[in-house]
């Protein structure tokens, strides 16, 4: 119907024309034109059986790799040095990681780059703090906490005391002029921050191919501004250099600075230089930037400038933005004392809360296993709660909801997976052991078996949609529905107690469902356990 709109023709007629040239006899019993211009396909049951059977023999898992792989850069997480990673960074990290995994599985060449904020005016204040007020013991035990304290201290003092403000400016100028003492302190601040970021990334199971921070592009900034000025793209504006967008209605009222009046480059200049470097280095077909929605204007401006600067370059630039995490009161999520919630503490609490549930439900497991399950469930729950809502809407952070064993949650899906694994374990332990032998014939007869198989066939389609619309929530909902289809199948169809041929066919269906569930959760960055 949308094609008919483009072609300005009658949708029913167009549907008939498609039908006349369509040959899907191998897959479908019949295809009919229905209603206003729908095409109804009736997939043949043998095809469903064949697909499930092929999957059970390891020939595929209901998706295909792209015949046209592209190089795609995913720029995500990108926290700032000397500041703790907070809940806002978790969304970028979790979304970006999921998109990278999906695109990689679909066969694309994915390059992940953590664009760390390791340069900027905050270092002037940090240097004043470091030189005058550093508490070495505090730095040893919680480096980012101590650097944050120093920053806040000097920032507050600079608001009332112009001498402090001046000192910070001078330290910054010295740093920018490569003063060796300031450079050494700055490097140490980066190394200490990186160590703490790495702890979080390893807990989240996230890794990057590159972590080229903003400072990496410093040597390119002068030339970038110069080129923009020389080509007439940037103009003088009260001592600064700005790009005006007279011809872009949306941006008309929002010129972008590329050099401040003190001569310093800024976030936009750095992003322009970064993009140029990425084009030279990886020649990507697409670059995905994952940040919160407040940066929308920045990305619109910077994409528009780049297109004017390099009209010859053909690259798809996408800003994948997301909303805020809210507390129960509907205001930005904060701790009881009103501070921003630190990511490390949030993950600790998730694991503690999950452990309380595991201790209750799995008292028979040893201590080590219970802790491991709590880790997988706690971290999985936080990630899933982040990925499930439409990314552009704000969501309310709620521990009880995300850790519930029923409803659309990670623990529910992880539990569903363990149930399938337990069925397969029982099958292997029984006196009629089961293996995926090549002569198992998958025969799907009951309605619930067929619905489950059809849903499995959609896996690849959903992955493609996640990758092209940058929406992991499609995959969350797909997996939730998969678990539902499986539960209905298992309620209706005896597996272990049915006679041999049927038992084997149904075990194969269980096994591939388990594999899709595990693969799907894995793409969301969520681990599974064999028991819980
Ligand atoms: N460091 C920035 C922040 O915390 C995010 C950077 C995103 N990436 C980029 N290329 N601008 O807000």
Distance CA(127)–CA(150), nearest Å, equals: 9
CA of 120 to the centre of ligand 1 (A): 12
Q: Is the CB of 115 under 6 A from ligand 1?
A: yes
pLDDT given at position 313: 96
Q: pLDDT, tens digit, for every residue of 47-59?
A: 999 999 999 999 9
CA of 271 to the centre of ligand 1 (A): 9
What is the domain class of 2-43 according to CATH?
alpha beta
Q: pLDDT, tens digit, for every residue of 62-78?
A: 999 999 999 999 999 99
pLDDT given at position 440: 83
pLDDT given at position 342: 84
Return the ligand 1 atom nearest residue 292 CA: 12
Q: Is the CB of 80 under 6 A from ligand 1?
A: yes
CA of 213 to the centre of ligand 1 (A): 10
pLDDT given at position 171: 96
Q: pLDDT, tens digit, for every residue of 232-244?
A: 999 999 999 999 9
Average pLDDT over every residue of 194-217:
96
Q: How many CB atoms lie within 10 A of CB 32?
A: 11
341: pLDDT strictly greater than 90? no
Q: Is the CB of 96 under 6 A from ligand 1?
A: no
CA of 79 to the centre of ligand 1 (A): 7
CA of 80 to the centre of ligand 1 (A): 8
Q: pLDDT, tens digit, for every residue of 299-310?
A: 999 999 999 999
Q: pLDDT, tens digit, for every residue of 431-482?
A: 877 776 777 889 999 999 999 999 999 999 999 999 999 999 999 999 999 9
CA of 473 to the centre of ligand 1 (A): 23
Q: pLDDT, tens digit, for every residue of 95-128?
A: 999 999 999 999 999 999 999 999 988 999 999 9
Average pLDDT over every residue of 144-162:
95
CA of 441 to the centre of ligand 1 (A): 53
Q: Is the CB of 511 under 6 A from ligand 1?
A: no
Nearest C-alpha neighbor of 513 from the set 446, 458, 470, 441: 458
Q: How many CB atoms lie within 10 A of CB 89?
A: 21
pLDDT given at position 189: 97
Tokens of 128: 């004043």
Q: For a substitution probing ligand 1, which of 88, 117, 277, 287 has the most ligand atoms within 8 Å of its CB?
A: 117
Q: Is the CB of 271 under 6 A from ligand 1?
A: yes
Q: Is the CB of 75 under 6 A from ligand 1?
A: yes
More confident residue, 433 or 509: 509
CB within 8 Å of 527: residues ≥ 6 apart = 205, 376, 379, 380, 521
Average pLDDT over every residue of 186-197:
95
- For the chain, the residue count is 532
Q: For a substitution probing ligand 1, which of 295, 302, 305, 322 has the most ligand atoms within 8 Å of its CB?
A: 295
Average pLDDT over every residue of 88-93:
90
CA of 133 to the centre of ligand 1 (A): 29
Q: What are phi and psi of 454, to 5 degrees?
A: -60, -40
Residue with the nearest Cα to atom 4 of ligand 1?
A: 79
Average pLDDT over every residue of 136-141:
95
Return the ligand 1 atom nearest residue 295 CA: 12
More confident residue, 1 or 335: 1
Q: Is the CB of 76 under 6 A from ligand 1?
A: no
Position 170 confidence tier, pLDDT thresholds 50, 70, 90: very high
Task: Tell me the DSSP string of 337-386.
Answer: TSPBPBHHHHHHHHHHHHHHHHHHHTTTS-HHHHHHHHHHHHHHHHHHHH
Q: Is the CB of 520 under 6 A from ligand 1?
A: no
Q: What is the mean pLDDT of the chain?
A: 95
Average pLDDT over every residue of 17-39:
93
Position 252 confidence tier, pLDDT thresholds 50, 70, 90: very high
Q: Is the CB of 78 under 6 A from ligand 1?
A: yes
Checking DSSP bridges between strand 325-326 and strand 316-322, what pairing results, if any?
unpaired
Report percent pLDDT > 70 for the chain. Answer: 100
Q: Element (H or E) spanning 109, and its range?
A: strand 109-113
Position 150 confidence tier, pLDDT thresholds 50, 70, 90: very high
3-state SS of 454-482 is HHHHCHHHHHHHHHHHCCCHHHHHHHHHH
pLDDT given at position 300: 98
Position 338 confidence tier, pLDDT thresholds 50, 70, 90: confident
Q: Is the CB of 289 under 6 A from ligand 1?
A: yes
Q: Is the CB of 291 under 6 A from ligand 1?
A: yes
């Amino acid at each position: 119907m949308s094609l008919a709109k483009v072609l300005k023709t009658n949708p029913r007629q167009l549907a008939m024309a498609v039908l006349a040239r369509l040959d899907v006899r191998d897959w479908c019993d019949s295809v009919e034109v229905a209603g206003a211009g729908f095409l109804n396909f009736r997939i043949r049951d043998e095809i469903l059986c064949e697909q499930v059977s092929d999957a059970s023999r390891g020939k595929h898992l209901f998706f295909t790799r792209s015949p046209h792989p592209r190089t795609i850069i995913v720029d995500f997480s990108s926290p700032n040095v000397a500041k703790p990673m907070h809940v806002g960074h978790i969304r970028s990290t979790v979304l970006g990681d999921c998109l990278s995994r999906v695109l990689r599985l679909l066969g694309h060449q994915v390059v992940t780059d953590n664009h760390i904020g390791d340069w900027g005016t905050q270092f002037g204040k940090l240097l004043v703090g470091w030189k005058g007020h550093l508490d070495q013991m505090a730095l040893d035990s919680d480096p980012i906490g101590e650097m944050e304290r120093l920053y806040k201290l000097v920032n507050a003092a600079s608001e009332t005391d112009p001498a402090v403000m001046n000192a910070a400016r001078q330290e910054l100028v010295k740093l920018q002029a490569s003063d060796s003492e300031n450079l050494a302190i700055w490097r140490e601040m980066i190394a200490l921050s990186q160590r703490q970021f790495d702890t979080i990334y390893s807990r989240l199971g996230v890794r990057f191919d590159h972590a080229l921070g903003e400072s990496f592009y410093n040597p390119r900034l002068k030339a970038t501004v110069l080129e923009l000025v020389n080509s007439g793209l940037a103009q003088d504006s009260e001592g600064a250099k700005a790009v005006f967008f007279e011809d872009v209605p949306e941006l008309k009222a929002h010129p972008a600075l590329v050099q401040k009046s003190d001569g310093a480059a800024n976030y936009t200049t750095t992003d322009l230089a970064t993009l140029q470097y990425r084009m030279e280095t990886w020649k990507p077909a697409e670059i995905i930037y994952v940040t919160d929605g407040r940066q929308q204007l920045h990305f619109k401006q910077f994409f528009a400038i780049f297109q004017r600067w390099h009209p010859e370059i053909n690259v798809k630039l996408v800003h994948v933005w997301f909303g805020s995490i809210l507390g129960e009161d509907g205001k930005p999520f904060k701790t009881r004392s009103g501070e921003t919630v630190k990511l490390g503490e949030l993950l600790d609490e998730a694991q503690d809360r999950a452990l309380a549930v595991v201790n209750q439900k799995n008292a028979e497991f040893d201590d080590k296993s219970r802790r491991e399950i709590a880790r997988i469930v706690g971290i999985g729950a936080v990630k899933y709660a982040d990925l499930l809502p439409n990314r552009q809407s704000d969501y309310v952070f709620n521990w009880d909801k995300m850790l519930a064993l029923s409803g659309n949650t990670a623990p529910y899906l992880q539990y569903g997976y363990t149930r399938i694994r337990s069925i397969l374990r029982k099958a292997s332990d029984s006196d009629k052991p089961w293996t995926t032998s090549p002569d198992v014939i998958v025969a799907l007869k009951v309605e619930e078996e067929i619905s489950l198989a059809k849903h499995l066939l959609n896996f690849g389609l959903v992955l493609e949609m996640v990758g092209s619309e940058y929406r992991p929530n499609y995959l969350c909902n797909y997996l939730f529905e998969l678990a539902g289809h499986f539960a209905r199948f298992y309620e209706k169809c005896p597996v272990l107690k049915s006679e041999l041929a049927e038992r084997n066919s149904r075990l194969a269906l269980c096994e591939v469902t388990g594999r899709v569930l595990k693969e799907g959760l894995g793409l969301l960055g969520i681990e599974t356990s064999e028991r819980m």
